[in-house]
Structure 1
């Protein structure tokens, strides 16, 4: 049975936040970004609560249908996070929230180790345990591990085992709380954000950073573009659920929805309509390329034909990043004194 308390806890702040965003007519680029990013965070909070409720429902009434609903709810919420993931300033910086939502890259397979440790406890873990366990146990990858990892598909700990379900429920509640706080804090942060000119540069820099991570870490690394030139699906995010391409597609769509409107307005205000048109054109081209690909990356890495399709997307992502960093940023007088690809 779905929790009425959980539903009410979510619906009230979401309704208030949505009303605030709708009532505030965006008249400047930062006001546009404030509204758009705020809506992205509200969408994430909404789907995170659906995930929380669906996890509880599945554990109360496990079946093939409720399992399918749970997997769909995880994917929806995860992709909503991917859409707004490029924002790397403001409330997302508090308490390592980006890492809480998605611990990645996970070169040491820490998610698997943390989940396994939690399931070996003498009694079911509680919220305090998850709070103290660290970011590897608190977000989407930990739930993905429970749902999709080969080691969790059979045996006494496979879902819907009681302790595993309890862990699933506890993690999903923590994740929903993180998304709630993020959406609420963005609303509180909004007026300050709009008032500070420096956030124009920070917002554009965040977009470039997100595109660089997409290019270098989420595509080039699993494709083996750079030494040692080995194709490796495990370097992509969401490889367990076979959603590596779906995640990248959502990030490009989020860039279009939450970044491009404010940036085109900024360019038009600055007298660069041709760059605004180029931004829209390249964004649409890149998204169309991603839309033509299935969700999983692994099959593309196995054949030369599939690899060429990934290369085509890779080239479009490079071109989009170059439009923003090499043409738009200089035209707006924005400089970046750091290599943003060094961090996620």
Structure 2
């Protein structure tokens, strides 16, 4: 017997089911932007402001080398935390190269810093913006503070490198402030990840897909940052000087910071991350990804040795292989099962062809 009321109720339920995932994706996109990405960008700005102050204080003799190095490591960690969040302006143009130049297979950082301090001994931040990205960022800053061939205890050497050091600190501060201002502008990334449609995304599903693509690329990059110095691209012969922070011996700390940031996009705040978009029947997948993150982070955080120390013996190499394999599990789960569960076609990632 035909029951119009029942039919109407069924149609309403179907319509609601059809639109609710889209609504949920909009909520999730906005939540990740406001509660995860924006606070991380703000911490990056704070760290770079401190870096600019620190460079000046060190060069004026008001701060020790130890403190200057600690401020650098803080800025480097803040940058590492942004790796899985490079969505929008920071991923466009050559902006991320201005922060960190990696891979540096031919020691361009060292060579170009040396050329620059000879060619422009009194360089400032405005002039630095016209120079190569190789000398504008944290990689060049790290070279000055940590390279074994530079003796900053020698007043002449310190005076030689200080103009560039302060210029880099100021450049990083300005770059970070510009990016954050762009995020918060009327039509900036925060608005584009919150209200749909807009000039960047036709709907919230596109924003979620973009977030996942950035995650997948970042996780793949983490594997490369570990695998390259391990020798996975060089027939098993370790290449410690190909690590992204080999001078400061902070490569594994940066890796852990990046992975922890990726986990925040997955988990979200109040379960408003990518995880919350999975339906109930995908609970086993959610738990699998939870466990993969937990395993990889534990391996990284339990380790007390530097990358160089681990590369020096068989036990250390076994430990690095375990970390690499754990990162690979996290990456493959995002790239495969999670993308499929969320109905996202990933296409090529930014590392393809490397």
Which one of 213, 216, 220 corresponds to residue 205 of structure 1? Answer: 213
Structure 2 contact 137–168 (Cα < 8 Å) conserved:
yes
What's 1:105 paired with? 103
Per the alignment, residue 285 of structure 2 pairs with 275
- CA distance in 1 between counterparts of 2:121 and 2:95 reads 27
| Inter-CA distance 68–155: structure 2 relative to 1 (3 Å threshold) | closer
Task: Give the structure 2 partner of residue 324 of structure 1.
Answer: 334
SS of the residue corresponding to residue 303 of structure 2 reads coil
Q: Give the number of the structure whose residues are more often helix, by fraction.
A: 1
Match of 2:11 in 1: none
TM-score (norm: length of structure 2)? 0.83
Structure 1 residues 274, 248: closer, same or farther in 2, change over 3 A? same
Deviation at 1:41, TM superposition (A): 0.6
Residue range with higher mean Cα deviation, 168-177 or 195-204:
195-204
**1:182-238 per-position Cα deviation (integer Å, ceiling 9, x unaligned):** 2221223211123232111111011011111111x2111111124422111111110
Q: Secondary structure of the residue that 1:108 maps to in structure 2?
A: coil
Alpha-carbon distance in structure 2 between the residues aligned to 1:122 and 1:331: 54
**Structure-to-structure mapping, 1:260-299, within 5 angstroms:** 260-261=267-268, 262-268=273-279, 272-294=282-304, 296-299=306-309
CA-CA distance at 1:156 after TM superposition? 6.0
Structure 1: stretches of 5+ with no match in the other structure: 1-25
Separation (CA, whole Å) in 2 of partners of 1:30 and 1:285: 27
2:108, 2:293 → 1: CA distance?
A: 35
If you compute each CA radius of gyration, which structure gives the higher value, 1 or 2? 2
Per-residue CA distance 1:79-100 (angstroms, 9 max, x = gap): 1111111233311134411111
CA contact (8 A) 2:213 2:349 kept: no
The answer to whether the 8 Å contact 1:244/1:297 transfers is yes
Where does residue 12 of structure 1 map in the other structure?
Answer: none
> Aligned residue for 1:40?
40
C-alpha spacing 1:33/1:167, structure 2 compared with 1 (3 Å) = same
1:218 — aligned with what?
Answer: 225
Q: CA deviation at 1:77?
A: 0.9
2:254 matches 1:247? yes
**Of the candidates 231, 235, 242, which is equivalent to residue 228 of structure 1?**
235
Match of 1:305 in 2: 315
Count of residue pairs the alignment pairs up: 314
- Name the residue aligned to 2:165: 168
**Is this contact kept in 2: 1:48–1:179, CA < 8 A?**
yes
1:118-157 aligned at under 5 Å gives the runs 118-121=116-119, 123-153=121-151
Q: Distance between the aligned counterparts of 1:244 and 1:253, measured in 2?
A: 14
